[in-house]
Structures are given as structure tokens and as C-alpha cells.
Structure 1
Amino acid sequence: MISLYKIKNIKHKRVLIFGFVCVCFVLFFLYQNKHLVVDNFIVQSEKISGDLDGFKIVQISDFHNAYFGRDNDKLIAIIKNQNPDIVVITGDLVDSNHTNINRALEFAQTVQEICPTYYVTGNHEYWLDEKDLDILLSGLRDSGITILENECVNIYKGDSSFTLVGLDDRNLSDNTLTNILQDYKSEFTVVLAHEPQYITNYSGEKVDLVLSGHAHGGQFRLPFMGGVVAPGQGFNPQYTEGEYKMKDTTMIVSRGLGNSIIPVRLFNYPEIVCVELKQG
């Protein structure tokens, strides 16, 4: 017959084991969501020449009010270490479900101090109420960040340049890109567009490079399957991370940094994208 002491001892061990397993799960998911990685891409083109050879673009996408260290110092240090010529923020700097505009602005302002920074909206910006959106955009402008609202700018390095186009998230699937580019000629064109599923639109204009995000890497990445689900693409999404080519267009999709409706990632580390332009 099992004594009362032994029964209590067994229960105590079970509680300890259960607690240990819970702690392991928490640490595992924290690591999955906070382990920053840098993925480097080289984009070669005959259109890239002179001082543009070796030009570095760091892409930040889907920040969603995330934090990586105190005041995001860990994230900022990694960005600095890439020695970028410019930084581009491709939407969802804030999260409409747990909005923290101050955190977004503090991060953006610190990035702007590293190098010139360019920004386009994502869907979460337009899910904010009008007052919060105005505070965000005004704060970004006051920080010296260039907001590209369906417009383009020339990016210079030495005697060479390329065209940087920023698409508003509300105009990814219409004729806006066509209208922007119809009278604008450039040797090399880079488009910032938050959502990747409109690649047919982008490639139809024969742009050279598209930097996108939105898909969160498919949220959960499984062996032999890749990303599980992405906004705008549903289950088994096609464009979730990395490099895609269509016609003469290369599209790079960032897995992003933060989370939103689904609060955790699995085998899908937060990502900083670094693109180096090379003469080819």
C-alpha cells in the first residue's frame, strides 16, 4: 500500500516536472521571437555602375512596436554594424492592435541618425484612427525621415544614382506605379511596397528591385512546407521570405521583426535584410 508521504512526493515531482516543461517552452518561444538575424542579399545588374557598386540598403519591415533590448539598443547596434548607405522601412512600423506610437517614433528617430531613412506605409498604419496616424506621420517627418507617398526620389552616391519609389499601401494593386514611372526614366529602379502578393503589378512595370514585407515569414515555418499562413495570401502562401524573380524584377520579402494578431513565431526568426547592389 502506497503511503501518504509517497503520494505527496509523486505529486510534488509532477508539479516540478510540469513547471520545468513550462519554463522551457517560454524560453523556447522567447528565443524564437527575439533572436535577431541578418540576411544578406546581393543584387547584380548591368544598370549598376560607378559609385553604386557596393551600395548597401538595410530594410526594416513589420516592426509592430517590437523591442529588442532596452530602447531597442540590440536592434540598433545590428543595423549600425551593416554600415548601410540608406535604411528603408517598408510598413507596419506600428501595430494597430497594441499601438505604441512613441516606441515606433523613438526607434525611427534613432535609425535616422545612422543614415538617411525612407518609409512607406503598411496596412496597420491605415488601421489606426486618423489622429494617431497624423501623430505618427508628423513625428516621422519631424525626425527627418522621408515618407514616400506614391512618389520617387533619386538616391545619389558620388556621380551615380538610382530611383527609389515608395508606394502607399492603399495603391499597390492599381495603376499608381504605372503613373509614377511613365515619365520617369532611370537606369536602376527600386520600389518599396509593403505587400508582396502584387508582384505581377510590380514586374509589369519592369522595375529592377522590390523590397516588401507583410507576410511575417508565414508566421510558422515548417520543414518541406515553408510558411504556414500570411495576410493577403492565406494558408500555404507563395511569397513569405527571401528572393523571388518574375520577368526582369527581383523581389526580396522580409520576414519582419514583430508580431500582430498571431503573437508568436515558430522557426521564423525576426529578420533584418541587408541588400548590396553590385555591378553585374
Structure 2
Amino acid sequence: MKRFVTTTYKITTDKIKRHPLKFVMISDLHNVVLGKKNEPVFDRIKSLAPDAILIAGDLVLGKTDASLKPAAAFLSEAVKLAPVLYGPGNHEQRMKLFTKDYGGRFSAFEKKIKQMGVTYLENERMILKINGETVAVTGLDLPYEYYERGPVKGPGRTELEGLIGGPDKQVYEILLAHTPRYGDAYFAWGADLILSGHYHGGIVRLPFLGSIISPDLRLFPRYGYGEYRKRDGASPKKAGRRQRITGSEQIMITGAGLGEHTLPLRINNPRELIVLECLPKEV
């Protein structure tokens, strides 16, 4: 059986007033099935009792011969456990854009999962009201050229605002931004918490060196894996998982993902389910 680890981040914020919130974040499943019908994943999520499940893209595998049934089956079980908010990755985007290669399969899939109760956020924002707390979740769908290999000038804050509007400073803002490549722009946009995947943890991770290579063949990618913090006007910095995150910082978390494709390689880089505990400042 393919195994995975659970990584928990505790985030203390003054935008959560009284009631702690818990989210599970999933990325880059790519049609992989862990155990029998992903039962170990669902058992773990059920034991966590999250307030919502956040998907940071690439649940599907965007290849012409790949089925959408594994992703649909996963979502049909996930919605029984908690509300599911799903931001697109490049594989979802590819299947939806290139209908010459993929036909209308993804549009049919999108319609089906919405009927299940999945909230698919394609440059859209959802306001969650949970136990008297307010959280905004935005799914970013960047123009597809931003996923091209080689040097690509990333989007600026103005372009992001054109795609998804501006953040609300009064509520806790979570941005589902599949590729971490443009982390600087996400911080500039103003998200309190940025959730990314795409790099599969750097495929190979080594002590002191961190993530070695991304799936788009970039060496030592910035924001390759883990937790990054930005305080006021300072530059974002890599942070240790064991430290509690305070409300005066913006946070970016890049997950290792639960699956892989094409290069099915993981060295010192286990599959990962992420848990986010958002705590009031006084807790």
C-alpha cells in the first residue's frame, strides 16, 4: 500500500476570534489510489473531523488516456466528511482548455462534482461561516502560460487583483494557489494563508539542501516545500514546522502532495496530508 504522513501546522491569528478551526489540505493526488479506494486517507480525515477540506489543485491526471473516475470517486466520499472547496491546478486547467485533446470531459466532470456539493473555485471566492467565525477561501486559476518551463515573468499584484479581486482585511483570507512559483506575488496580494502544491515536495529532498527539483525540472525551487512566513515588509523566510505561527505573519505552505505522475519518484519525501489548525490568539 502507498503510505502517507500527516503534517500539522498550528496557526494563531487575531482574525479568528473565539473558536478554533481545522482544515485538511490535499494536493496533487493525480488519480493515485492509496489503499483500498483511498480508505486510509478517508479514515484519517474522519478522525480529524475538519471544518472543511481544501484541495489545492491536480486531483486529476491531465493525460488524454487518463480517466476522471478516480477523482470523482474521491470527491464523492470526501463530501460526506466535510465541505469540499477545490481550487484548480494545471492538470484541471489543461483538460478544460484544450478541448481538441480532451473533449468536454472536464466540463462534464465539473458539473458532476458540483452536483455532489463540491465548491469548485475557478478565480472565485467563497465565504465560510463556521461557529461564528468568517473565513474567505479563493481558488486562483492563473493563465496557463505561467506553468511553462523556463523563465516566465510571474503575475504581479495588479494582475492577481484582476483575476480574483482584492482581499478583505477584516476576515481570514485563504488562497488556494496551485503553483508556489509565484509566492512573492501571493504575499503581495495580501493572503493570510497561501496553500500550494505542484512541486510534489521537490521530488527529492535532502538535509540542509531542501527540495532538489520540481516536476517542471527547476533545480532548488524557491517555496519548494514546507512553511514560509512573511512579517510586515520583510522578505518571506522558510520556517520550522514546530514553531507556532502568530497572527502578525502571512503564511505560505507548500505541500508534498498525495500522488505523483510521469516521474513516480520520492526520496526523503513522503506523500502528505496537511492539517491546518487555525487558533484564536488567546488559545
User: What's the TM-score bracket when you normalise by the shorter of the two chains?
Assistant: 0.7 to 0.9
8 Å Cα contact 1:150/1:177 also seen in 2: no
Q: Distance in 2 between matches of 1:276 and 1:147?
A: 23
Please list every run of 5 or more consecutive structure 1 residues that lacks an aligned counterpart in the other structure.
1-29
1:105 corresponding residue in structure 2: 72
2:241 corresponding residue in structure 1: none
Deviation at 1:127, TM superposition (A): 2.6
Are positions 1:131 and 2:71 aligned together?
no
TM-score normalised by structure 2 residue count? 0.81
8 Å Cα contact 1:35/1:270 also seen in 2: yes
1:252 corresponding residue in structure 2: 253
Deviation at 1:232, TM superposition (A): 5.0
In structure 1, give the amino acid aligned to 2:176: L
Deviation at 1:176, TM superposition (A): 5.0
**Which residues in structure 2 correspond to 1:31-180 (within 5 Å)?**
34-51=2-19, 54-97=20-63, 99-128=66-95, 129-170=102-143, 173=155, 175-179=158-162, 180=164
**Which residues in structure 2 correspond to 1:166-205 (within 5 Å)?**
166-170=139-143, 173=155, 175-179=158-162, 180-182=164-166, 184-205=168-189
Deviation at 1:195, TM superposition (A): 0.8
8 Å Cα contact 1:162/1:186 also seen in 2: no
Tell me how many residue pairs correspond in the alignment: 246
Q: Distance in 2 between matches of 1:181 and 1:188?
A: 15
2:267 corresponding residue in structure 1: 266
Deviations 1:96-147 (A, max 9, x none): 2362210110001100110100001101112322422213212211211001
How much identity, in percent, do the aligned residues show? Answer: 32
Deviations 1:184-213 (A, max 9, x none): 453211111101111111111222111111
Deviations 1:45-80 (A, max 9, x none): 1122123xx200100100100111111111111111
RMSD: 1.9
8 Å Cα contact 1:65/1:93 also seen in 2: yes
Q: Distance in 2 between matches of 1:80 and 1:266?
A: 28
8 Å Cα contact 1:63/1:258 also seen in 2: yes
TM-score normalised by structure 1 residue count? 0.82
In structure 2, give the amino acid aligned to 1:270: R
In structure 1, give the amino acid aligned to 2:256: R
SS at match of 2:228: strand
Q: Distance in 1 between matches of 2:263 and 2:167?
A: 42
Q: Distance in 1 between matches of 2:263 and 2:170?
A: 40
8 Å Cα contact 2:129/2:135 also seen in 1: yes
In structure 1, give the amino acid aligned to 2:255: S
Higher helix share: 1
Moved more, 172-181 or 86-95: 172-181
Moved more, 123-132 or 163-172: 163-172
8 Å Cα contact 2:167/2:173 also seen in 1: no
Q: Distance in 2 between matches of 1:260 and 1:183?
A: 34
Moved more, 151-160 or 103-112: 151-160
In structure 2, give the amino acid aligned to 1:140: I
1:215 corresponding residue in structure 2: 199
Rg larger in structure:
1
8 Å Cα contact 1:121/1:169 also seen in 2: no
Moved more, 136-145 or 184-193: 184-193
Deviation at 1:219, TM superposition (A): 0.5
In structure 2, give the amino acid aligned to 1:164: V
Deviation at 1:153, TM superposition (A): 1.6
